[in-house]
A = this chain, B = another copy of it.
Amino acid sequence: MHTLAFQWRTYSEGMADPQNSVDEILSTVRGGARRVTVAKRTVAEVLVEASGHLTVDEVTLAVQDRRPDVSPSTVYRILEEFEELKIVVHTHLGQSAAVYHLSGAVHGHLTCEVCNYTMQIPAAHFDVLGKDLQKTYGFLLDRHHVAISGTCAHCQSVRRHNT
A140-B147 in contact given A92-B92, A98-B95, A126-B129 (Cβ < 8 Å)? no
B133 touches A148 (CB 8 A): yes
Does chain B have a CB within 8 A of A116?
Answer: no
A139-B110 in contact given A95-B92, A146-B149, A148-B146 (Cβ < 8 Å)? yes
A149 vs B121: C-alpha distance when bound (angstroms): 17
A153-B137 in contact given A98-B95, A113-B145, A146-B148 (Cβ < 8 Å)? yes
B149 touches A145 (CB 8 A): yes
Nearest Cβ distance between residue A144 and chain B, in whole angstroms?
8
A141 vs B146: C-alpha distance when bound (angstroms): 13
CB-defined contacts of A137 to chain B, threshold 8 Å: 8, 11, 110, 119, 121, 152-153
Does chain B have a CB within 8 A of A32?
Answer: no
A156 touches B129 (CB 8 A): no
Does chain B have a CB within 8 A of A18?
Answer: no
22 sampled A-B residue pairs with Cβ under 8 A: A11-B136, A11-B137, A92-B94, A110-B133, A110-B137, A110-B139, A119-B137, A119-B139, A121-B133, A125-B129, A125-B136, A128-B128, A129-B129, A129-B148, A138-B152, A138-B153, A139-B148, A139-B150, A140-B156, A141-B149, A142-B151, A145-B149
Those 6 A-B pairs whose CB atoms lie nearest each other, nearest first: A138-B153, A145-B149, A141-B150, A140-B151, A142-B150, A92-B92
CB-defined contacts of A146 to chain B, threshold 8 Å: 148-149
Does chain B have a CB within 8 A of A132?
Answer: yes
